[in-house]
Amino acid sequence: MVQAPEISLAALAPLLFVLGAACVGVLVEAFGPPEGRHRVQVAVALVGTLGGLVTSLLLAGERQVTAGGALAVDGPAVFLQATIAGLGALSVLLFAERSLDPARSAFVAAAAVPAGSPRDRELMTSSRVQTEVYPLTGFAVGGMMLFVAANDLLVMFVALEVLSLPLYLISGLARRRRLLSQEAAVKYFLLGAFASAFFLYGLALVYGATGSVRLADIRAAAAVGGTDLLLVLGLALLVVGLMFKASVAPFHAWTPDVYQGAPTPVTAFMAACTKVAAFGAILRLLYVAFGTSEWTWRPLVYGIAIVSMVVGAVLGLTQTDLKRMLAYSSIAHAGFLLTGVLGLNGGADAAGSGLGATMFYLLAYGLTTLGAFAVLTLVRDGAGEATHLSRWAGLARRSPLTAAVMALFLLALAGIPLTSGFTAKFAVFRAAIDAGAWPLVVVALLASAVAAFFYLRVIVLMYFAEPVVDGPTVGVPGLPTTIVLAVTVTATVVLGIAPGAVLDVAERAAIFVG
């Protein structure tokens, strides 16, 4: 007789909301009438993500292990779930924008039609839109929220796949430059599968070493036999799988290509939400499962953080495409986030300031990068978005407001004071210094200085260069994009000037349940 596990539905409410809405989306896709389906799908996706946001906010202070020990609903899980749901809602709004592209959507009308075929050209100019992207996004968001709460390596793997598969798909759905988009999707899929294999193999090794996939059991086993080679090898492979998702160098190679090829709203979604989810899982794995063998992985993370910061900052210097530049920025930021991970001193039970700082960083970076990609969708020419750097010359004269908003996001990404980026960087660096990792912080500051060059270059180009002849036009965003920009600008400024309240919330949430 199998005993049914104890399940707290209240604690699972955010997940149920998001995944339920995604299922409703599938039904709408199957049975709903074609006309007006877009509107319904947007509404369902928004209800799902916002519902997830509200219910996870209501769970604040919750601290339990449920579903037979498979899920941990604790401070970090709830904080990151709320972050993912909120950023997911903003991404859905970006997907729903219909007034920028003359073809009324950023997504291809029929993904199965071969690119460049007569039918494809015909559909290109039609106003038909496809709506599968909304339920897919819902599943991705649900998978991410599960990912950060997984207290079991198997659940973590399932969540990884639930969030990844929809992402592979929607990366290939760009309406323009379809071949580039499809190439990106295939690359992402192949490498993602490769990374998943690493993760799965690591899982198997850890199971072999400890006889369990529960994080708590692994922790107990690691405390006794921390030097077991099988266990250590398993940890290595798990880390590789997770670092891939977080686009940490040297597992970053897919990031620039996919960021560039995917439809820009999808890139925004990936840059913001996937990063949060992946780091949530990294934190939980390292601190809950391997918190007792901290000194085994610390040197490794130390080195990876440096490699990621340096690679991101240095390679970003020579990029000429804004989406690729933001991709390298994302790689560098992954390195900065790892300094926060190293700031966690004292393991899972201690209220480490590094955990709160890292979570604050994830929130701030997610909002800023989402806003930056949202601005990219505005600047267009005949062939779609004008993402080449040279096309942005003198943009401030044509559209001062757009240039100012972009400048704000770039300053925040560079970590200039009075923006959220500064507060976040300050918080993680301080945590790292408290943990004694000051040489890492020195490298991080140097990398920030190098990275500041390519952010500021865009600002210089927008404000101090002569406008290009027949340059891109700046589209007037519809309501959805306007809301996204308003929220992200406000957050970037408020978290820079008065971050106290949010930092406090992140700080208080920063305790894992064992």
Name the residues that contact other proteins, by CB under 8 A: 186-187, 190-191, 194-195, 198, 226-227, 229, 232-233, 235-237, 239-240, 244, 250-251, 253-254, 256-257, 295-297, 299-300, 303-304, 311, 314-318, 450, 453
Beta bridge mates, 214: 152
Nearer to other proteins, 147 or 251 (CB): 251
Instruction: Compute the distance between CA of residue 8 and CA of residue 162 in angstroms, rounded to an integer.
Output: 22
Give the list of residues 6+ apart from residue 441 with CB closer than 8 angstroms, or none.
339, 429, 432, 433
Nearer residue to other proteins within complex by CB, 144 or 447: 447
C-beta closer to other proteins: residue 229 or 501: 229
Task: For residue 167, give the nearest of 8, 293, 274, 73 by alpha carbon.
Answer: 274
CB-CB contact of 50 with 24 (8 Å): no
CB of 320 to other proteins, least distance (A): 11
Q: How far is the CB of 367 from other proteins (least distance, A)?
A: 28
In the complex, minimum distance from the CB of residue 341 to other proteins, in angstroms, rounded to a whole number: 15
Which helix (H) or strand (E) segment holds residue 93: the answer is helix 75-95
Q: Which is nearer to other proteins, 250 or 436 (CB)?
A: 250
Nearer to other proteins, 14 or 316 (CB): 316
| Angle at CA of residue 276, ends 417 and 487, nearest 5° | 55
Smallest distance, other proteins to C-beta of residue 292, A? 13
**Least Cβ distance, residue 305 to other proteins (angstroms):** 13
Q: How far is CA 236 from CA 43, 59, 246, in A?
A: 42, 33, 15
Query: Among residues 65 and 237, whose Cβ is nearest to other proteins?
Result: 237
Q: At what angle do helices 420-434 and 479-497 cross, to 10 degrees?
A: 50
Give strand pairing partners of 385.
380
- What's the closest the beta carbon of residue 206 comes to other proteins, in angstroms? 13
Q: How far is the CB of 95 from other proteins (least distance, A)?
A: 27
Determine how many CB atoms are found less than 10 A away from the CB of residue 486. 12
Nearest to 136, CA basis, from 244, 263, 282, 280: 263
Nearer to other proteins, 125 or 390 (CB): 390
Q: Judged by CB, which is closer to other proteins: 220, or 450?
A: 450
Residue 453 to residue 57: CA distance in whole angstroms: 38
Residue among 198 and 361 whose Cβ is closer to other proteins: 198
Q: Closest distance between other proteins and the C-beta of residue 266, in Å?
A: 19
**Cα distances (Å, whole numbers) of residue 299 to 82, 342, 384:** 31, 10, 45
To which residue do tokens 């970006």 refer?
Answer: 94
Helix, strand or coil for residue 161? helix
| Structure-token pair, residue 268 | 């925004």
CB-CB neighbours of 1 under 10 Å: 3
CA-angle at 383, arms to 378 and 389, nearest 5°: 60
Alpha carbons 444 and 302: distance in angstroms, whole number = 11
CB of 184 to other proteins, least distance (A): 11
Could you tell me the smallest distance in angstroms from the CB atom of residue 189 to other proteins? Answer: 10
Output 17 or 297, the one with its CB closest to other proteins: 297
Nearer to other proteins, 237 or 411 (CB): 237
d(Cα 506, Cα 361) in Å, to the nearest integer? 10
The DSSP bridge partners found for residue 64 are 73
CB of 133 to other proteins, least distance (A): 24
